[in-house]
Structure 1
Amino acid sequence: MTAPASIGSYRVERLLGAGSFATVWLAYDPVLDARVAIKVLAENWSHDLRVRERFLDEARLLRRLEHERLIRVHAVGELADGRPYSVLAWADGGSLRDRLAHGPLPVASAVALLDEIAAGVAMLHRHGVVHRDLTPGNILFRSDPEGERVLVADLGLAKALAAASGLTARAGTPGYMAPEQDDPLAVVDTRADVFGLGRLGLRLLGDTTHPHGAAVRLRAGVPTPVAEVLRRATAARPADRHPDAAAFGAALRRAALPAGTHPPAGPAGAERPVRRRRPATVGAGLVALVALIAVAGDAATGVRTARTATSGPVTVTLPAGWRAAGTGWAGQYGDDGRLEPALVISPDPDRWAADPSVPGAFVGLSARTARRATPEAFLAERPHADCVAAPVRRTRQDDVDWVVARFSCPAGRPVIVEAVGRAAGPAGLLYVQVVPPPGGDDEFVDGLLAGVRAR
């Protein structure tokens, strides 16, 4: 296939992929000074009005939802021959299909990834949309300064739930498509996507060649309860599956927990925020670990000591009125393939990553980073270009020598503090990013750092 020199005002660089209905090109946008992906309707479908409308429906749906778990649409246009195209943000990390071609992911990483995919599909379900074509090729990765985002892509077959049943054309990919999608008269609802999630789970964690109803065969190291979650998700009858992606994700997280632990309480079906960190913003990444919150006290005297939160070897003493949410550190994998431990602490952990008015902190521990970078070098990797930096200072708190930088910013969060220290022993590099409350000075920051420990 010969690449066009340009599409509209975009300079085409190379082919990214070609499917039955569309071709995708990597191109350069001179206005944004960025690479974009341009999806063009295939020539052999250009005169089919139904396919053309479905192509445009995808762009409209992506624009309407405009969510960080979906590819962003920059523009829509039309070639000289009348074929429509859409200009999309480029998922520079490739697809899950590309990654699986190089071999299986570590079990812990695969479970965490499946949980993130389910969260993206749950977002669609909350907006009344069923995807209908969940495959490894439709799960994409886009780089963030802190790691990467998991994106649900290719909504060309997506349908509003009200229109997803009754005389719909056969749609989906064999091996991932729910059985009812073969029946043009069947009801196709959120449970069809649950089937797709289950099949993705089998591709990530086990053997995908077994027929419907056969025992799920998983790789060694997969928690036994996870097999039951995937078995239920891939049941032949929709009524036997989880009702939607949110329920599937909740069941998966419960199944992956170590025996005797429990997930934190929360509203049923509530969305977990995509936590990510970039210059002048804050957050963490794939939710993979559970914070264990403890309140110590003396039963005889009734005196309550400080509340603490723990994620793996990291323990943090919480400031008064603050809570914790357990996370894995996005993009930071240990030698065992698991996300390295991290915590978000805040008066409102669910809001602090997106709401500049909410104070909080991200606390992470990385053994692998400690082998490549000193605290000073790691701190230098975290500039805030639009902010004014105070002189770097050093403080010793609870046997950890911290390097601390404070930034005053003209927009968004008025103050961001970056602190890096090396934990005693082999634990690794401790990283804390703090958005202090109004009036929170160095004394507040040092008090928080004094409560960060790694065993």
Structure 2
Amino acid sequence: MDQPPRIGRYSLVRRVGAGGFATVWLARDEQLDAEVAVKILSENWVEDEDVRRRFLAEGRFLRKVDSLYVVGVHDIGEADDGRPFMVLTYADGGTLADRIKAGQLEFGEAVRIITQVGRGLKHLHARGVLHRDVKPANVLFRTDPAGDRAMLSDLGLGKSLAEVSRITMPGGTPAYVAPEQVLGERLDHRADLYSLGAVAYAAFTGQAPHGVVSLGAVMQIDSPPPSMTTLREDVPDAIDVVVRRALEPDRDQRWPDLDSFLNALREAHTTGKVPAGLVPAAEMPKPSPAAVPVDQETAPASSGQTTVAAKPKRSRRAGVITALAAVVLAAAGGYGGYRYVLTRPVEVDNTPLSVKVPRDWHQKAVDAGKSLVVSTDTAAWQTNPNTEGVFVGLVNSRTLPSTATAPEGCSPATPEKSGDAVTFRYSCNNVPTVVERYQQVNDTTQLRVQVRDDNPTTRQEVLDSAKYQP
């Protein structure tokens, strides 16, 4: 959509971010003469009640916490077109992902950032909220008189600790998510601790641990990642030991809490020595299976407390089939489900095109290095409109189209223009729904992407993942 002049009482300055479900604008609160960020639900999700509910739940989670290290919510409302929005603290210093991409961080700077993010997590946990999606892209920076300050953002996957004490649906970002979260197990604060350890690993080395790109791969992790010194030779051994302890797949072998991890990290950085009393996780005695309270049955005792009966710990392998089934079900859901729909990155050899797709889109066809089709059956892509998949290609044009030919079985669509792109969302009968986008990538070239799939989450995420990077 074209930029509206204002949302509520906030005048919009420019768009600063966009995802599958919402767009974020830099705006000015004219009454307070202050810069703010306005996050508004994308118009194609306005009728989805589950997405609206989760969007508003994120605002409530953020509102629960008054912390310097968590993005604050200052207002919430509904735009003239019915879309909910929330007004957030504006972070003018970019993201940790940006800084990692720009080059190696100095060790003291990395420790400072991880400490501040850890404080934000502690404040969330104290208010009964688990973040569940801690990653560099969700660590923002705000400029203060004394420097900048790291803040946690995006609680789109946030859950109350009461909810995650029960079995939960899998979710998270593969490179940073705890294995037990992927398996849909009961969660506690150690899931966020694992993710913070993964962020620390990336801050020190420039790369996420393990390098996994799918939740299925996370299920196979059975040991901490390789030493950080394999990626950056000057990482002190003491820091390496502390961070990798946070990345134990078995949560009982991790640091017991955030304070233990953060204190050990600061001590390792300050003294250059492994903190006194730290036993390497690999040398810790393993609890007997019958004593591990992972699969628990709880019942209220007469005293008002909870009695816990422990069952033998379920192996990760045994839970894979159940978890995979849960992933399939979750992928059909709304807000948050898109985070684990895409499992396989696909590139065109020696060209700047790429896209991420579901695992069952296993066939790829390339046309002279200028386009690709990834689908369930590339041979049938042109002739069978029931074939699910994606086409990504380049078009020579200086002007975005105002009309487009509807695919077979679909009705013509009204163009949705947004900045340098135009999108057509077709209504289709008896064939998979189609969405098509043209994006101007330079003066003479457009990126054309067409996605066929009945799952709206899959369509949007595949569409947004397509890239042209010359």
Query: How far 1:223 moved relative to its partner?
Result: 1.9
What is the CA–CA distance in structure 1 between the aligned matches of 2:39 and 2:235, rounded to whole Å? 37
What TM-score do you get using the length of structure 2 for normalisation?
A: 0.53
Determine the structure 2 residue equivalent to 1:188. Answer: 187
| Distance (whole Å) between structure 1 residues aligned to residue 240 and residue 20 of structure 2 | 33
- Corresponding residue for 1:236? 249
Q: Distance in 2 between the 1:208 and 1:94 partners? A: 19
1:37 and 1:88 in contact (8 A); partners too: yes
1:257 aligned to which of 256, 270, 276: 270
CA distance in 2, matches of 1:234, 1:226: 13
Letter in 1 for 2:24: V
Letter in 2 for 1:152: L
Give the CA RMSD over aligned residues.
Answer: 2.1
Secondary structure (helix, strand or coil) at the match of 1:257 reads helix
Question: Shift in Å at residue 28 of structure 1?
Answer: 1.4
User: Is 1:216 aligned with 2:216?
Assistant: no
**SS of the residue 2:31 aligns to:** coil
Give me the whole-angstrom Cα distance separating, in 2, the residues matched to 1:48 and 1:167: 25
Q: In structure 2, what is the Cα distance between the partners aligned to 1:27 and 1:87?
A: 9
SS in 2 for 1:114: helix
Establish whether residue 41 from structure 1 lines up as the match of residue 12 from structure 2.
no
Q: How does 1:104-119 map to 2 (within 5 A)?
A: 104-119=104-119
Q: 1:234 to 1:86 in 2, by over 3 A?
A: same
The residue that corresponds to 1:120 in the other structure is 120
CA contact (8 A) 1:91 1:142 kept: yes
Partner Cα separation in structure 1 for residue 156 and residue 247 of structure 2: 23
Q: Which deviations, in whole Å up to 9, do the C-alpha atoms of 1:193-250 show, x marking residues without a partner? A: 0111111011111243536424222323322111112211111112111223222212
Tell me, yes or no, if the aligned pair for 1:5 and 1:12 is still in contact at 8 Å: yes
- Which range moved further: 122-131 or 28-37? 122-131
Tell me how far apart the structure 2 counterparts of residues 261 and 116 of structure 1 sit (CA, whole Å): 21
Per the alignment, residue 169 of structure 1 pairs with: 169
What secondary structure does 2:124 align onto? helix
**Structure 1's 95 and 7: CA in aligned 2 closer, same or farther, altered over 3 A?**
same
Read off the aligned partner of 1:192 and give its amino acid letter.
Answer: A
Structure 2 counterpart of 1:142, which letter? R
- Alpha-carbon deviation of 1:251? 1.9
Mapped partners of 2:4, 2:115: distance in 1: 39
Q: Is the 8 A contact 2:167 2:186 kept in 1?
A: no
Aligned with 2:260 (options 228, 247, 251): 247
Q: Is the CA contact 1:190–1:243 (under 8 Å) kept in the aligned structure 2?
A: no
**Are 1:91 and 1:140, in contact at CA under 8 Å, matched by a contact in 2?**
yes
Q: Who is 2:97 aligned against?
A: 97
Q: Which amino acid aligns with 1:178?
A: A
Distance 1:116 1:134, change over 3 A: same
1:193/1:244 contact within 8 Å kept: no
Cα separation, 1, equivalents of 2:274 and 2:194: 27
Per the alignment, in what secondary structure is the counterpart of residue 60 of structure 1?
helix
Q: Does 1:76 align with 2:89?
A: no
Q: Deviations over 1:60-110 (max 9, x none)?
A: 222222222222222101123322100112111121112222112112211
Q: Match for 1:193: what amino acid?
A: D
Code of the residue aligned with 1:253 in structure 2: it is R
Question: How far apart are the structure 1 equivalents of 2:122 and 2:63?
Answer: 18
Report the equivalent of 1:201: 200
**1:262 Cα deviation after fit:** 8.1
**Is this contact kept in 1: 2:201–2:209, CA < 8 A?**
no
For 1:112-132, what per-residue CA distance to the aligned partner results, in whole angstroms no more than 9, with x for missing partners?
Answer: 221221122122222222110
Partner secondary structure for residue 133 of structure 1: coil
Distance 2:208 2:273 in 1: 30
Conserved in 2, the CA contact under 8 Å of 1:118 and 1:245? yes
The answer to whether the 8 A contact 1:93-1:142 is kept is yes
Q: Which amino acid is 1:133 matched to?
A: D
Q: Is the 8 Å Cα contact of residues 125 and 244 (structure 1) preserved in structure 2? A: no
Distance 1:170 1:49, change over 3 A: farther
CA–CA separation in structure 1 for the residues paired with 2:138 and 2:67: 16
Partner amino acid, structure 2, of 1:247 = S
User: How far did 1:50 drift?
Assistant: 2.6
**Residues 241 and 274 in structure 2, CA contact (< 8 A), matched pair in contact too:** no
Structure 2 Cα separation of the partners of residues 124 and 93 of structure 1 = 22
In structure 2, the residue matched to 1:129 is 129
Q: Could you say if the C-alpha distance between residues 159 and 84 of structure 1 is closer, same or farther in structure 2, counting changes exceeding 3 Å?
A: same
In structure 1, what residue type is equivalent to 2:17?
A: G
Displacement of 1:160 in angstroms is: 1.4
Distance in 2, matches of 1:262 and 1:217, equals: 18
The answer to which of 86-95 and 105-114 deviates more is 105-114
Aligned to 2:158: 158
Deviation at 1:30, TM superposition (A): 0.8
| 196-205 vs 102-111, which moves further | 102-111
Q: Structure 1's 262 and 238: CA in aligned 2 closer, same or farther, altered over 3 A?
A: closer
Q: 1:51, CA displacement in angstroms?
A: 2.4
TM-score with structure 1 setting the length: 0.54
CA positional deviation for 1:56: 1.1
Amino acid in structure 2 at the alignment position of 1:196: S
Cα deviations across residues 375-400 of structure 1 (Å, max 9, x unaligned)? xxxxxxxxxxxxxxxxxxxxxxxxxx
Q: Which residue number in structure 1 is paired with residue 7 of structure 2?
A: 7
- 2:127 and 2:260 map into 1 onto residues whose CA distance is 15
- Normalized per residue, which structure has more helix? 2
- Residue 143 of structure 2: SS of its match in structure 1? strand
Structure 2 unpaired stretches of 5+: 212-220, 277-470
Q: How many residues align?
A: 262
What is the distance in 1 between the residues matched to 2:24 and 2:179?
29
Q: 2-side partners of 1:260 and 1:154: how far apart? A: 35
* Deviation readout 1:333-358 (Å, 9 max, x if unpaired): xxxxxxxxxxxxxxxxxxxxxxxxxx
Residue 161 of structure 1 contacts residue 189 of structure 1 at CA under 8 Å; is this kept in 2? Answer: yes
Matches within 5 A, 1:316-331: none
Q: Within the alignment, does 1:65 sit opposite 2:65 as a pair?
A: yes
Report Cα offsets for 1:9-45 as digits up to 9, x if no partner. 2111111101122110111111011111000112333
C-alpha displacement of 1:259? 4.7
Looking at structure 2, the residues matched to 157 and 193 of structure 1 have their Cα atoms a distance apart, in angstroms, of: 12
